[in-house]
Amino acid sequence: MADTPHPDSWQPSPEMRALLFTDFNGDPADPDDVIADALDGGYAERTPALLAILQDASADPAERLLACVALTSWANPAGYQAVIAAAVAPDEVVWRGQSHDRFFSQDDTFGQLADAVGASEDMVNERGTADLRIDAARALLAIADQVQFDRHMGRLLYGQIIDACQGTIRSTLDRGIHRIATDDHISFDLGLQLALLAVALYRVDKLAATDAMRRLTAANPGNRARRELVEATGNSLLLEAVD
């Protein structure tokens, strides 16, 4: 969880500080480091309290987001289920807006969830949650035309996820390309996200991906998207702007 709320406006409760801001030696630590270190087995002792926070509708929304990120990173079923539920109605999620990226100061709640789902790959066999991880990834990919992920999207676009979610990727590309072509008020770089999806699809279905790339380029997706497509395909024509 790289981008927690700014410390001037938010501070963790004593309970959350003990759970995710304190390492296993009792020293202050960054939540990212605590979550990673817990994979060695320490996650078990901190899971019950984090589950309680995640499932408490009256808890601090930022702390619920942190709890979800931790549990999802640890391949916990409740974490994946919370990600899936959040993707059903992303604008209504209570913790939406509790994390902002450091470059554009835009909400990156779902980018954080994508990172967590991606990071959990090594734990799913131990936890028996491989199918739930795919379901959570699919739910996030299905809203990639609606919310900001930026490059966090890449954490979902490899291995079994691409194979299992080809249909979702194609559908999201179709909706997203239409949106870019018709909506002048998109608040995030949708073109980049669609380019990342198209590049991922290119690895398993070159014909469908090439068609999507052509349509995306024609919709004028922006320079970051074009560069992504060119780097993946070597086709410099995709850099040409379309008026």
Give, for all 243 residues of the chain, the pLDDT tens digit.
444 444 457 899 999 999 999 999 999 999 999 999 999 999 999 999 999 999 999 999 999 999 999 999 999 999 999 999 999 999 999 988 777 776 666 789 999 999 999 999 999 999 999 999 999 999 999 999 999 999 999 999 988 999 999 999 999 999 999 999 998 899 999 999 999 999 999 999 999 999 999 999 999 999 999 999 999 888 765 555 433
pLDDT value of position 243: 33
Rounding to the nearest 10 degrees, give the CA dihedral for residues 76, 81, 87, 90. -90
Torsional class of 26: left (φ above 0), alpha (ψ -120 to 50), beta (otherwise):
left
Q: Say what the pTM is.
A: 0.92
pLDDT value of position 238: 59
pLDDT value of position 176: 98
CA atoms within 13 A on the CB side of 10: 16
pLDDT value of position 9: 73
pLDDT value of position 29: 96
Q: List b or e across 187-203, with b for residues whose CB sees 16 or more CB atoms inside 10 angstroms.
A: ebbbbbbbbbbbbbbbe
> Is the distance from CB of 21 to CB of 31 less than 8 angstroms?
yes
State the CB neighbour count (10 A cutoff) for residue 9: 7
Q: Which residue has the tokens 């299905």?
A: 142
**What is the Cα–Cα distance from 180 to 191, expressed in whole angstroms?**
7
What stretch of H or E contains 90?
none
Alpha-helical regions (H) of 183-222: 190-202, 206-218
**What is the Cα–Cα distance from 67 to 94, expressed in whole angstroms?**
13
Rounding to the nearest 10 degrees, give the CA dihedral for residues 52, 36, 74, 13. 10
pLDDT value of position 165: 97
